[in-house]
Amino acid sequence: MPSVVTFVTGNANKLKEVQAIMSETVELTNKSLDLDELQGTIFEVAEAKCKRAASIIGGPVLVEDTALGFTAYGGLPGPYIKWFMEKIGHAGLNNMLTAYDDKSAQAICTFAFSEGPGHEVKFFQGVQNGIIVPARGPPGFGWDPCFQPDGYEQTYAEMPKELKNTISHRFQALQLLKEFLATRK
């Protein structure tokens, strides 16, 4: 198991969550790289980003691709949610579903890990089912204010971080990564 893994992200909130969940498993450093995101499936996007990051860093890397898929849209916007958020915001996401009774969605987090250039990319994915609601809670972290996970009355944004970090799609994916890294010791 590598002693240090570079988590490639420029998102400070994402970095805090991943560090909080992984703190006892592996030492994470951070590097912000502007990686091209090709069009494709969640796995194709994550794999391309991971391979590129490994070639730049020259060692163990971890990249994340987060998707939010609306059932009414057959899983879209999916891995393109970042671009939808930038252009239409929380209100726009809700407006996309006004013509549909089905407001259900899946929050999907896919981590891609590589030990370095030329090494196989391993995937770890977590999925949280929920619904899209009008934005509630602090607006500082992507689409968290409009995603309410099944079984909860709060959106991700309204939840205490300690709770979110034990139920989220990101937490589920990182649990799988932790299990994988534990077998590598």
Domain holding 174, by residue range, is 4-183
Number of domains in the chain: 1
- Which tokens in the block code for residue 122? 């391993």
Confidence of residue 167 (pLDDT cuts 50, 70, 90): very high
| Among 173, 169, 129, residue whose Cα is nearest residue 151 | 129
* Ranges of H-type helices in 61-160: 81-96
From CA 78, how far away is CA 68, in angstroms rounded? 5
Q: What is the CATH number of the domain that holds 48?
A: 3.90.950.10
The pair phi, psi for residue 53, each rounded to 5°, is -60, -45
Task: List the one residue out of 126, 120, 129 whose CA is nearest residue 179.
Answer: 126
Per-residue pLDDT at 61: 95
Band of residue 96 on the pLDDT scale cut at 50, 70, 90? very high
**Using 50, 70 and 90 to split pLDDT, how confident is the model at 26?**
confident
Residue 27's nearest CA partner among 6, 49, 50 is: 6
Instruction: Name the pTM for this structure.
Output: 0.90
pLDDT of residue 185: 63
